[in-house]
Amino acid sequence: MDRKPWEVHPALTEERLCYIANIIRDVRHKTLGLYDPNNGDGVWSLGCRIYERTINTIDHEKGKLSWLDTIRDGLYFVLLVEGVPIRFYRGDVDNPNTRSLRRKFPELEAQQCTFSFYEPEWFWRLVAETDADGEILRIVMVQYTESGDSKNPWDIPITEPVKVETPSLDAVRESIVLDRPVVKSKEEKTVGVDQNE
């Protein structure tokens, strides 16, 4: 019999998983609106853009939430919900690809730190299933083994949009007023300087 995530580990509450799932959905929806194949955008660049924006937004949100942390090494990204490692991917819950099931040392180490809840062969994934246009149909929290066996799938209810501020490089900063520079020739600068120094 399948168990809910919080029945497997109490840190994985419905509220927390809904929060993360809504970030994934909202960032994807917003980024799909920027997709412009007439000007050279392709599905590969769209997927990269969605992934980068999602991990950047989650990284930004972790500063606001005591229960959320991340491990980030280049494009390798692991969410930590009160220390429980979770990765996400877009695809089919029933047919995950091997890349989505691959684990690296930071995820394995984080999983071992969950102590009494540690099941070495089982790990968590958030799976975003999409329609033909790339919009989210559902997001499922599920446990997998590296061989693709699964258990405890739970459809995360994603109905209400979450107000997520995507970090921007164009953030407006307060301007600094500088004095007008004094420009002198090289010869003027050396006048009065002891040449023996």
Q: How far apart are CA 139 and CA 127, in angstroms?
A: 5
Structure tokens at 61: 């949100």
Instruction: Note the pLDDT of residue 179.
Output: 76
- Convert the pLDDT of each residue in 128-174 to its tens digit: 999 998 999 999 999 998 888 899 999 999 865 444 444 444 455 56
The single-letter DSSP state of residue 111 is H
pLDDT at 196 over 70: no
Global pTM value: 0.72
Cβ neighbour number for residue 168 with a 10 Å cutoff: 9
pLDDT at 87 over 60: yes
Give me the sign of the Cα torsion angle 99, 8, 52, 104.
negative
Residue 114's nearest CA partner among 5, 38, 1 is 5
- Convert the pLDDT of each residue in 4-61 to its tens digit: 999 999 999 999 999 999 999 999 999 999 999 899 889 999 999 999 999 999 999 9
Instruction: Note the pLDDT of residue 166.
Output: 46
123 three-class SS: strand
Domain borders along the chain are: 5-190
